[in-house]
């Protein structure tokens, strides 16, 4: 999981199985570590405060995505959907932006395998 505060984010390795929501305030305790060259917490516990604190995705360009500078941040990019594939566990999209192609994957919630997917 990732905790984000404005433009700062922190990758968290956790065994917490409680459902968490994007935009909820949460506290994390764990051991500092480095993950793919970035500061992280490992063997962490997450405590959801159940208080919404919306975050806005950072607008980025293809070059910014390719540099991995926002690897753990919630981001937004404009582009055209070239093709899409819908599967039981995830949707995959091929997008064109700034003359480049890349994929975006949306993983369905764990319960989606038991219920029909919405259109």
pLDDT digits (tens, 9 = 90+) for 13-42: 888 877 788 888 889 999 999 987 888 899
For position 32, what pLDDT does the model report? 93
The mean pLDDT value of the chain amounts to: 85
d(CA 92, CA 86): 7
Higher pLDDT, 95 or 69: 95
For position 30, what pLDDT does the model report? 93
Q: Give per-residue pLDDT as tens, 96-108.
A: 999 999 898 988 8
Q: What are phi and psi of 60, to 5 degrees?
A: -130, 165
Higher pLDDT, 82 or 2: 82
Q: Contact, 92 vs 105, CB < 8 A?
A: yes
3-state secondary structure 66-113: HCCCCCCCCEECCCEEEEEEECCCEEEEEEEECCEEEEEEEECCHHHH
């Amino acid at each position: 999981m990732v905790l984000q505060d404005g433009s700062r984010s922190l990758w968290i390795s956790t065994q917490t199985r409680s459902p968490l929501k994007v935009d909820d305030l949460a506290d994390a305790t764990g051991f500092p570590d480095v993950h793919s060259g970035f500061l992280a917490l490992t063997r962490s516990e997450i405590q959801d405060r159940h208080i919404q604190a919306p975050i806005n995705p950072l607008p980025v360009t293809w070059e910014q995505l390719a540099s991995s500078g926002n690897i753990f941040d919630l981001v937004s990019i404009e582009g055209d959907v070239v093709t899409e594939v819908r599967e039981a566990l995830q949707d995959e999209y091929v997008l064109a932006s700034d003359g480049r192609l890349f994929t975006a994957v949306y993983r369905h919630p764990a319960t989606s395998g038991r219920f029909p997917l919405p259109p």
